[in-house]
A = this chain, B = another copy of it.
Amino acid sequence: MSAPLDFYFDFSSPYGYLAAERIDDLAARYGRTVTWHPVLLGVIFQKTGAVPLTQAPLKGDYVARDFARSARFMGLPYRAPSRFPIPTQVAARAFYWLWDQDPDQARSFGRALYRALFVDDRDISAPDTVLDLAAAQGIDRAALADALAAPALKERLKQEVEAALGRGVCGSPYIVVDGEPFLGADRLPQLERWLAAGPGGF
């Protein structure tokens, strides 16, 4: 079994949502698994000098249209959130807490967080919403609430974001396959060809 793919994303990233819906199945077709790494684009953009796409002059109108069209192109539901972008620290911390216990359940929880924001227009920056979504997946709500209140998870997320920056993560989604980085849900076709080509890619 080859090494897992590394999937970096922010829970407030529409293109991250689109990739999250496809990446595990895509990897599985080539006998690969995926390690999910939620990060904070706000911290990353401080390094790259980028601004949130929707706030860029001229480009903001375009990307709002592109989010919805890209979802239709990929056959995925999408509704623009009322509030966007949003802080995603709580969602990311909850994800890592669950990941350490059960990666499969964490992936499922991650997709539930994304769908809550980008399909059902729920504000997943609210801790109660994160806890509700966890409880709906059969996760121990009280245990997660306790973990979110403790300092360890905050430190964990900080370290994950630092590690991502050290690896060159400059946007969301950013997926690394055997050292080869792919930025954007629109790079999934290239990523798939890379996997199909075998060691060294195409």
A-side interface residues toward B, CB under 8 Å?
A: 44, 47-51, 56-59, 61-62, 65-66, 69-70, 72-73, 165, 168-171, 180-181, 183-184, 186-187, 189-190, 193, 202
How far, in angstroms, from A186 to B15 measured CA to CA in the complex? 14
A168 to B70, CA, bound (A): 19
Cα A190 to Cα B51 with chains together (Å): 25
Instruction: Please give the distance in Å from A108's CB to the nearest CB on chain B.
Output: 29
Cα–Cα distance between A186 and B185 once the two chains are bound (Å): 11
| A58 neighbours in B (Cβ, 8 Å) | 44, 47-48, 165, 168-170
The answer to whether A186 and B183 have CB atoms under 8 Å apart is no
Interface contact B48-A170, CB-CB below 8 Å: no
Q: B50, B183, B186: which contacts A62 (Cβ < 8 A)? A: B183
Contact at A184–B186, with CB atoms within 8 Å?
Answer: yes
Instruction: Give every chain B residue within 8 A of A56 (Cβ-Cβ).
Output: 48-50, 170
State whether B50 touches A171 (Cβ < 8 A): no
- On whether the beta carbons of A57 and B48 are closer than 8 Å, the reply is yes
With A and B bound together, what is the CA distance between A187 and B35 in angstroms? 27
Contact B183 A66 (CB under 8 A): yes
Q: How far is the CA of A73 from the CA of B58 in the complex (A)?
A: 29
Please, how many angstroms separate the alpha-carbon atoms of A56 and B180 in the complex? Answer: 19
List 14 other contacts, CB 8 Å, given A62-B181, A73-B193: A44-B58, A47-B57, A47-B58, A48-B57, A48-B58, A50-B56, A56-B170, A62-B168, A69-B190, A69-B202, A70-B190, A73-B190, A186-B186, A186-B187
Name the distance in Å between A174's Cβ and chain B's nearest Cβ: 8
Chain B residues, Cβ within 8 Å of A44: 58
Are A202 and B73 neighbours in the complex by a CB distance under 8 Å?
Answer: yes
Interface centre among A180, A184, A190, A193, by most chain B C-beta atoms within 10 angstroms, is A190
Query: Which chain B residues border A47 with CB–CB below 8 Å?
Result: 57-58
